[in-house]
Structure 1
Amino acid sequence: MYSLVTKPIIKRSHHIIESDNGNICIGEIPGKAKIIKSPPEWVKVVLSKLDGEHTLPRIIKELLNRNLNVEEHEVIDFIRKMISCGLVEDNIISSELLTSREIELYDRQLLQFSLIDNDNLSSIKYQERLKKSRVLVLGMGGWGTWCSLQLALIGVGTLRIVDGDVVELSNLNRQVLYTEDDIGKSKVDSAENGIYRHNKYTKIEKYFEFLTPSENRVNDLLDSVDMILLAWASLGYYKKNTVEDIIHKVAIDKSIPIIELGGDPHEISIGPIYLNNKIGKTYFDVKHQIKKTFYSDDSIVKDFQEARMKQQFLNGVRKVNAWQSSPSLAVMSGLVVDQVIKVITKYDTISLEGRKIKISLRDFSFAEEKLFNGDK
């Protein structure tokens, strides 16, 4: 009879608020909070006892001793409904994957998971999903280092990082994992050390190479991967036979989600996400559409866009073709990793499947490119 939970507790992420007219609200997130209108006195007593210290038999015994005009089955039914609504969990926390130190380390995001809790699970289960995950980060420049740092901070179990470059002095003010001691060293070795400084529980698989359009090599790098971050400027939409084409092809074959990102000092872009789940559209479904919308309807502007793609610069091949500073990188990577967490854990609904969001850092204007709706 008492096998619901051992020591029930109102989720630590949830407030219990009583209005002046006696109504009670548990939680504060629209669609997740529950309102109890004019509850009987015994309900308030039960709520006060759902503190993680009382067992269910003890709660019932205390209520019956206080003569609150409530039956045992009413208390059990009430707590069962609270559990089914995702408002109550067991205060007995244990994990076969996470150490007690890790559980304390991730305490605040465990609260975040329990706020939404789409799968109606203990927040520990969401953290375990992160622990078991392997995320591939392609490119360890500004985009890749900031995203890798945040992925490690939130507890992704394994990061597979790929880059064939070495650290330069000009990297240090924006590529967050490197220090002056790393100058001249490979980015993947230096990134590994930088990540370990922040979270020793994240494992690093490093590949010191520039990825080429080799399907066999891409297939190897995508083996056993749960999510891919394409952390370089993707030209696959505008050119033929690119490495991006191969990455997306293999990801579709292996059903691996991909998120794209980008930006410059004045604008950031997040998305789209391709879930590659055999339901939503893929990169190849929208590639022509994106290419078509990229080029201006103005023929003169289009001519210059095409010339730029061919790097037809009169002042020679530009030494720096893309750059971004730390403020915009920090914003962009936070928004990207938030979506990655949701793809992996499923604690909340993702927002960027088939969508690219652009944010101007000059005037904080937003623009959205809606590529598809998540189904065929």
Structure 2
Amino acid sequence: MLITNISLSCHKTNNGNLFIAVAGKDAIEYEENPDFYLEVLYLFDGTRNSEEIIRELESQGYIISAEDFNELTTDWLHLNILKEKDDAEELIFKEEYLKYDRQIRNFGILPGLTIKDGVEYQKKLENTSVGILGVGGVGSYIAYGLAAIGIGKLKLVDGDIVELSNTSRQILYNEEDINKEKIMVAAEKLKLVNKKTEIETKNLFVSSSNLNELDNFFKDVDFIVQCADTPRGEIEYLVDDVACNNNIPWITFAPFSFSKISLGPIIIPGETKSLKEQIPPAIFNMDSKVERINERFSPTIMDPYNGMAAKMASIEIVKFLTGYRKSQIINKRLVLDTDTWEVNFYEL
């Protein structure tokens, strides 16, 4: 039995046409016989089969053959206007996935997918472990979001303590947490977000001298999210080494240059080039004056940029982990400038 896609919305235009919008497809507009199509949509409520709908249409003066009706339903299935009716509530309840009801349905409304597919994607998330390096500005948002969507295990690394300025731009911390170990506060807060997500922590400032500790801690995760900003200019390449040594996919992203956000690339060892190969590290002349000038650097940011960068990355992470859509930043870097809202893709 067929039913209209739960993402579908329609309205009558000022000139009487029927406008239909649905997830994953371009909107369409019926100029001829809009009342007929509106009635057909209305009757596809999940309580009638095709024969019953045809009879109801005939009772209202709309005559359509079974062949033409089947052609229309086939077309609407292709356009994602109609879906096969399923036992969504029962299935979600059976799997104890009521917490994830909306996101499971969000998968299921897409063309070619069903609620059952959504449940399978949720199981993938539940069986995935993710390592997060840095739970500060963007890392706290990433950790919160991944716990909320049901990632089964998070392994967190950070060596910092909570400061007052953190509380204006890092979602996991408030003023009562000041001077506490950031990693411990994060673990406590994330358990409030999702008690089923397993949390492991390591209190560590990563550097080239202790990279083996990060390597050992992350060696069994399925994916790594690089959210740390120190050692500046080096940290991405240290993570690149860890990920490539252990054959673990990973992502890099960050707000930068006041108004900009970079997203990607996702690196897949064995399938893509490493970060070193895609974006070779710069070679700096460490003149003493250069070092002294660079010591004056101080990071500047405000909360919206952290949140936006993290949510953009989270979308691509879920795409990659579930496969519900192909990630658009494999071998690519996206740059969004929030001053102009201009978006650029760079092939790497």
For the aligned pair, the TM-score class normalised by the smaller chain equals: 0.7 to 0.9
Are 1:195 and 2:195 an aligned pair?
no
Quote the offset at 1:147 in angstroms: 2.0
Q: Relative contact order, CA 8 A, sep 6+: which one is greater?
A: 1
1:343 partner SS = helix
Matches within 5 A, 1:82-231: 82-89=76-83, 90=85, 92-93=87-88, 94-95=91-92, 98-99=95-96, 101-104=98-101, 107=102, 109=103, 112-113=106-107, 117=110, 120-122=113-115, 124-125=118-119, 126-211=121-206, 214=211, 218=215, 220-225=217-222, 227-231=223-227
Partner of residue 333, structure 2: 355
Match for 2:175: what amino acid? E
Gaps of 5+ in 2: none
Q: CA contact under 8 A between 2:263 and 2:309: conserved in structure 1?
A: no
Q: 1:88 to 1:135 in 2, by over 3 A?
A: farther
Q: Is the 8 A contact 1:143 1:333 kept in 2?
A: yes
What is the TM-score of this pair, normalised by structure 2? 0.76
Q: Report the CA distance shift for 1:85/1:367 in structure 2 as closer, same or farther (over 3 A).
A: closer
1:243 corresponds to? 238
Q: Is the 8 A contact 1:167 1:184 kept in 2?
A: yes
SS of aligned partner of 2:8: coil
CA distance in 1, matches of 2:327, 2:154: 21
The structural deviation recorded for 1:140 is 1.1
| Per-residue deviation, 1:136 | 2.1
Q: Is the 8 A contact 1:118 1:346 kept in 2?
A: no
1:70-85 aligned at under 5 Å gives the runs 70-85=64-79
Instruction: Please state if 1:322 is matched with 2:299.
Output: yes
Q: Structure 2: how far apart are the matches of 1:145 and 1:30?
A: 30
Alignment coverage as a number of residue pairs: 340
Instruction: Write out aligned runs for 1:282-297 (5 A).
Output: 282-288=274-280, 291=282
User: Percentage identity across aligned positions?
Assistant: 21
Superimposed CA distance per residue, residues 235-290 of structure 1 (whole angstroms, 9 cap, x where no aligned partner): 69x65995223234136x24x2x2212235823432222241755443132132x6
Which among 254, 262, 268 is matched to residue 254 of structure 2?
Answer: 262
- Please say if residues 108 and 118 of structure 2, whose CA atoms lie closer than 8 Å, have aligned partners that are also in contact: no
SS in 2 for 1:171: helix
Partner-residue secondary structure (3-state), 2:180: coil
Normalising by structure 1, report the TM-score: 0.71
Amino acid at match of 1:218: D
Is the 2:254–2:261 Cα contact (8 Å) retained in structure 1?
yes
Query: 1:199: how far off?
Result: 3.9
Kept in 2, the 8 Å contact 1:135–1:159? The answer is yes
Residue deviations 1:101-120 (CA, integer Å, cap 9, x gap): 3144xx2x5565456x2653
* Residue type at the aligned position of 1:221: F
Q: 2 CA distance for matches of 1:357 and 1:17?
A: 36
- Report deviation, 1:72: 3.8
CA deviation digits over 1:199-223, x for unaligned, max 9?
4454433333344554585265142
Counterparts in 2 of 1:208 and 1:342: CA distance versus 1, 3 Å: same
The answer to whether the 8 Å contact 2:105/2:118 transfers is no
Distance 2:275 2:99 in 1: 37
Note if 1:341 corresponds to 2:318: yes
CA distance in 2, matches of 1:63, 1:369: 50
5 Å-filtered alignment, 1:290-305, equals 291=282
1:30-66 CA-to-partner distances (Å, cap 9, x unmatched) read 8533455635976543311122344556435544666
Name the structure 2 match of 1:297.
none
Structure 1: which 5+ residue stretches go unaligned?
Answer: 293-301
